[in-house]
Amino acid sequence: MRVSLLLFTLFCAAAADSTWEEKFRAIPDPHNMREAMQRMSAHPHHVGSPYDKDNAEWLLAKLKSWGLDARIENFDVLFPTPNQRLVEMIEPVKFTARLAEPPVAADPTSNQTAEQLPVYNAYSADGEITAPLVYVNYGVPADYERLARLGVSVRGAIVIARYGASWRGIKPKVAAEHGAVGCIIYSDPRDDGYYVNDVFPEGPERPRDGAQRGSVMDMVLYPGDPLTPGIGATPEAKRLQIPEAKTITRIPVLPMSYGDAQPLLAAMKGPVAPPEWRGALPITYHVGPGPAKVHMKLKFNWDIKRLYNVIVRIPGSQYPDEWVIRGNHHDAWVNGASDPLSGAVAELEEMRAFAELLKQGWKPKRTIIYAFWDGEEPGLLGSTEWAEAHAEDLQKHAVMYLNSDSNGRGFLQAEGSHTLENFLNGVIKDISDPETRLTVWKRLQLRDLERAGADRRRELRTRPDLRIGALGSGSDYTAFLDHLGIASLNLGYGGEGGGGGVYHSVYDDFYWYTHFADTDFVYGRALAQTAGTAVMRMADADLLPFQFSDFADTVRNYIDELKRLEAGQRTQTEETNREIDEGVFQAAADPRLPYHPPEKNPPPPHLNFAPLENGIDALTRAAQRYDAARKNAAASSVKAVNARLIASERDLTDPAGLPGRPWFRHLIYAPGFYTGYGVKTLPGVREAIEQKRWQEADEQIQRAGAVLTKEADLLEEAAAALAGR
C-alpha cells in the first residue's frame, strides 16, 4: 500500500514537471538569439578586451532585468598577447609571412583591425630562431615514427605541422620532445579550406589568408591559469613564477594561413611526403629537412588579465544543497559568433525562459546555477578557476554539469558521463529536430544507421539507448568532470551547413553565422530546449535519474578494447620482429631512396586484467540491481540514495590522479596526453599500454579495478536503500 501510494506521488511529480517542461520549450525564440548574437559579436571580445567586460556587464544587466540573481565573479590570470611576430623564409627564396587576415568587403566586422587580437598561439614561449623546416604532417607521435623510417630528424629544425588530428597544443609539445626548436601550425585547405567547400565570403570555408588562433598551453597537464594550478586565481592566490609554469610551451609556436604556408612548403625538398600526409595545396609535399630555412621571432606581453564569469543562481525549493550546473563561455578569439556565442545565446534564452517560468510559479526542487564563462579560449580559464575556487562546495553539492559551446545546424552531438546516457536519451526523445520534425533521438538513430556496419546496426535497432561519446577536453566541462568528478554532459548541434571553416578567425562573426550556419537560429532554439529540459528534469526529479547499466556496458566495452589493444600490440610486435628477421622491410623499400627499417622490440608481456574484470563484473551486477530497484523506489529512501548518486561520479576519481598529471583525477575519462581533445577512456591503463610502460599498466589496472569495485559497492548500498532495506 505504502509503496503504491508513493509511486503515485512520484508519478504526479513527473506529470507536473512535464507540463512545466512543455511550457519551457515553447519560450526560446530564434529572434532573440539572433539579436543577442549580433550585440555580443559586434566587436572582438577576447580576454582582457573592453568588449569582453562589456559583454559580461550586458549579460549581467539582462539577467538581472529578468529578476534573476546574477553576479560577476572575477579571476586574474596570466594571458600573453603578441608583442612581436615574424616568420620569414631566408633560403632558398625570400618570403615574409603576412600573418594577418584581410578585411572582406561584404563582412562588416572583419575590418575591426585595431581591436582584433593578431594571429598567434597563446602560451607559446618567446624566442628567436633560424632553422631549416621539416614537414611533420599533423605532428602527432606516429608522424615522427614515420619520419624516422624516412631517416629524417627534426632535431634543431623548425617543424611545420598542419592543424588537425590532435589538439593544437600537442604539436609543439611533441615537436620539442623530438628536439625541434620552433613550430609553425598552418591550416591546410585539405582539412580546412577550398577542398571542403567554397571559401568565405562565397562559401563557409577558410579563405587563403584566414588563420586559426588558439591556445597551445599543455592543458593535458592542467588547464586554467598556468600560475595557479589546482587553486582559484583570486587576487590573493599564491602564484608560480612564469618559468615555473609547466604548461607554457618549450619552443616558440605560431599559426598561419595556407596562403602563408604555401611558399614555405613549396620550397621544401627531401623525401616526398607519404600519401596520407599530403594536403590540398597545388604542390608536391616534401618532408625536408630544408632547403627552406626560416627565421622566426616571437615575443609576448606576459600580462595578468581579469576574467568576468557571469554566474546566476536559482535556489532550489526542496533540495537547495543539490546543484545542477550549466555553462557556456562568452569570451572569443575575435568576434566569435559561432564560437562561443551560438551556444551562449541559447543559454541566455534558457535563462529568459526560466525567469518566465519562475514568474509563473515554477519552483525547481534543486538549486540551478548558470554560468557564462570567460577565458575559455586561452585555456578553460574561467571555468577552471571557478571550479578550483569552489572545489569543496562543488564536490559536496554538484549533481551534474551541463556544457555547451559552438552550435550549428544538424544532428545532436552529445558526450558525457555514461551514468547520464539513459537520462539524456529520455530528454532528446522529447525534443523536435526543427528541420525534419523527427525527434532529435529518432533522427540521430536513423543517421547512425546510415553510417553503421552490420554489427552496429543490430545494436542501433535493439539497444534502448543511443550511445553517447566519452568526454576528452576542449571545453569548460573539463574541471568539473576530470578534476572534481562531477557527472557531466556536453551538447551541441552540428554537422550540416558551415562547419569549422572560420574557426578562431576574424571571419567567425555575425555575417558568416547568419549566411552559412544556423542562419535562422532554429538549432539555437533546439539547443536551448535540449539543455533547458535536461536541467529542469534533473533539478525537479525526486530520485536523480542516474542509471548504471549503460555505464557498466560502456566500461565493459572499454575493457574489451584494452584487451584487444594489448593483444594487438603483442601480435604486431611479434610480426614486426619476424619481418625484420625475414628482411621484409629492406626488400620492400626502394633501394634508391633513404629508408631506415624499424628495430626489434621485446614483445609486450601479458597483463593481469583480472582486477578490471572483477570490477566490471561486480559493477554490472550492482547496476542491474540498482536499475531494477529504481522502478520500485520507496520515497523515504530518495534523499539518502540521491546523496549516493551525487557521489557516484566522485567515486570514479582518485585523489592521486593520473600518472604524471595529478590534476586529472578521473580514472575512466581523460583527454589523451598525446591527443589533447581526444578522450582516452580508462586513461591510466590505456596510455600505459600505448606507451609500452608495462609495470605501470598493471598498476593502473589495479587502480581502475578498485574504483569500479567501489562504484559497485555504492550501487549495492543504493539499491538496498531504494528497496527500503
Residues that bind a second copy (CB under 8 A): 189, 194-199, 203, 205, 272, 278, 280-284, 409-410, 435-436, 438, 442-443, 446-447, 449-451, 454, 457, 496-497, 571, 575, 579, 582-588, 590-592
- Helix or strand or coil: residue 354? helix
Burial class, 439, CB count within 10 angstroms (exposed 0-12 / middle 13-18 / buried 19+):
middle
Cβ at position 353, least distance to a second copy in Å: 26
Residue 431: closest CA among 537, 357, 345, 333: 537
C-alpha torsion 331→381→378→495, nearest 10: -60
Cβ at position 366, least distance to a second copy in Å: 35
Cβ at position 673, least distance to a second copy in Å: 30
How many CA within 13 A on the CB side of residue 272? 7
Cβ at position 550, least distance to a second copy in Å: 23
Tell me which residue has cell 553517447: 468
Per DSSP (E only), the strands in 510-584 are none
Question: How many CB atoms sit inside 10 A of residue 265's CB?
Answer: 23
Distance of alpha carbon 143 from alpha carbon 149, whole angstroms: 10
Distance of alpha carbon 268 from alpha carbon 289, whole angstroms: 7
User: Residue 3 or residue 587: which is nearer to a second copy going by CB?
Assistant: 587
Cβ at position 282, least distance to a second copy in Å: 4
Burial class, 299, CB count within 10 angstroms (exposed 0-12 / middle 13-18 / buried 19+):
middle
- Helix or strand or coil: residue 589? coil
Cβ at position 567, least distance to a second copy in Å: 12
Cβ at position 123, least distance to a second copy in Å: 33
User: Residue 88 or residue 435: which is nearer to a second copy going by CB?
Assistant: 435
Cβ at position 399, least distance to a second copy in Å: 33
User: Residue 163 or residue 222: which is nearer to a second copy going by CB?
Assistant: 163
Per DSSP (E only), the strands in 123-281 are 127-135, 158-162, 182-186, 214-215, 253-256
Q: CB of 534 within 8 A of CB of 428?
A: no
CA distance readout (Å), 439 to 403, 431, 450, 667: 21, 6, 17, 34
Question: How many CB atoms sit inside 10 A of residue 260's CB?
Answer: 24
User: Residue 205 or residue 225: which is nearer to a second copy going by CB?
Assistant: 205
Cβ at position 246, least distance to a second copy in Å: 40
* Single-letter amino acid, residue 45: H
User: Residue 66 or residue 516: which is nearer to a second copy going by CB?
Assistant: 516
User: Residue 153 or residue 197: which is nearer to a second copy going by CB?
Assistant: 197
User: Residue 145 or residue 575: which is nearer to a second copy going by CB?
Assistant: 575
Question: DSSP characters for 20-35?
Answer: HHHHHHH---HHHHHH
User: Residue 270 or residue 611: which is nearer to a second copy going by CB?
Assistant: 270
Cβ at position 499, least distance to a second copy in Å: 12
User: Residue 201 or residue 662: which is nearer to a second copy going by CB?
Assistant: 201
User: Residue 281 or residue 646: which is nearer to a second copy going by CB?
Assistant: 281
